[in-house]
Amino acid sequence: MARFVPGSDAEPAAAVAVLRRAVQLDAEARYQPALVCYQEGIDLLLQVLRGTKDETKKCNLRKKISGYMDRAENIKKYLDQEKEAGKYHKQIKIEENATGFSYESLFQEYLNETVTEVWIEDPYIRHTHQLYNFLRFCELLIKRPCKVKTIHLLTSLDEGCGKQQQISGLEEIKESLGNHGVLLELEYSSSLHDREIRFDNGWMIKIGRGLDYFKKPRGRFSLGYSDFDLRPCHETTVDIFHNKHTKKI
């Protein structure tokens, strides 16, 4: 199907920007984010249509919207087929010192109201900063639109002087989650090496460094200390898969 190029005078700047981005992502075969942009752009055009009185402009807008909707539907069907076949794979390369990769930015696209259970395999939820990373990830999971009820964590046990701090820290997180109606199930393995996160809606994310891919902030009052989108990252690779029949850990 032919792709439509935004730019009509009847379209607001916001819609033009979003739809240009959709077309660009589409051309790069980055279909998942392209679909999101198409849907957002269509919503913006529908708002314009409702406020347009000129019949000629309304007719042109309807044609544009119809074209974008057709393209979005074709992409959605393609992605659904890939997901059903277990073939969906997207890779994100995080460069050294890159920013803009907070947990929310990275995972939000795959979290929706259907997510009720999460499995996390990460051998390095041990030290204080790693416990805080896990806590921050848990905070993301209990926010809307998610309806997470159970989180499973499989990690390794610190056999050194930090063992008690690790255990007490995770128990405190478990208690806090319980106060929000979320069960945290903890399990330890001495042979764990892989890092993997799975949602019960079929999405599976593998991060080379696990949740611990952020660099230490330069100071307590430096940008990125609180907002992890501004925190520089270590170089790593994120692989995203979808499998309707994702196995539970």
Q: What span, in angstroms and rounded, lies between the C-alpha atoms of 151 and 62? A: 45
pLDDT at 181: 96
Which of the four pLDDT bands, split at 50, 70 and 90, describes residue 149? very high
Reported as a pLDDT band with limits 50, 70 and 90, residue 10 is very low
**Pick the residue with more confidence: 234 or 246?**
234
Question: 220 and 169 in contact (C-beta within 8 Å)?
Answer: no
Residue 232's pLDDT band (boundaries 50, 70, 90)? Answer: very high
Confidence bin at 249 (pLDDT 50/70/90): very low
199 Cβ contact list (under 8 Å, min separation 6): 110, 111, 115, 117, 118
Of 20-34, 120-134, 142-156, 235-249, the least confident: 235-249
The pLDDT tens digits for 58-99 are 899 999 999 999 999 999 998 888 777 767 788 899 999 999
What is the C-alpha to C-alpha distance for residues 79 and 85, in angstroms, rounded to an integer? Answer: 10
Residue indicated by tokens 């128990």: 171
Can you spell out the DSSP letters for 98-115?
-----HHHHHGGG--TT-
Mean pLDDT of 235-247: 78
- Per-residue confidence at 144, pLDDT binned at 50, 70, 90? confident
CA-to-CA distance for 130 and 13, rounded, in angstroms?
42
| H helix intervals, the chain | 13-27, 31-50, 55-84, 103-107, 128-141, 163-179
Residue 9 has pLDDT above 60, yes or no: no
Res. 29 pLDDT band, cuts 50 70 90: confident
Residue 1 has pLDDT above 50, yes or no: no
What are the phi and psi torsion angles at 70 (to 5°)? -60, -45
pLDDT digits (tens, 9 = 90+) for 158-210: 988 999 999 999 999 999 999 999 999 999 999 999 999 999 998 999 999 99
Taking a C-beta distance cutoff of 8 angstroms, is the pair 102, 231 a contact? yes
Q: What mean pLDDT is reported for the chain?
A: 89
pLDDT at 87: 72
Q: Sorting pLDDT into bands at 50, 70 and 90, what band is 19?
A: very high
Please state which of the ranges 8-12, 118-122, 239-243 shows the lowest mean pLDDT. Answer: 8-12
Name, in order, each residue with C-beta under 8 angstroms of 7's C-beta and a sequence gap of 6 or more: 16, 20
Calpha distance 98→231 (Å, rounded): 8
To 5 degrees, how large is the angle CA 209–CA 215–CA 221?
150
pLDDT of residue 244: 58
- The reported pLDDT for the residue numbered 204 is 93
Question: Does the N-terminal peptide bond of residue 217 adopt cis geometry, omega within 30 degrees of 0?
Answer: no
Answer yes or no: pTM beyond 0.75: no
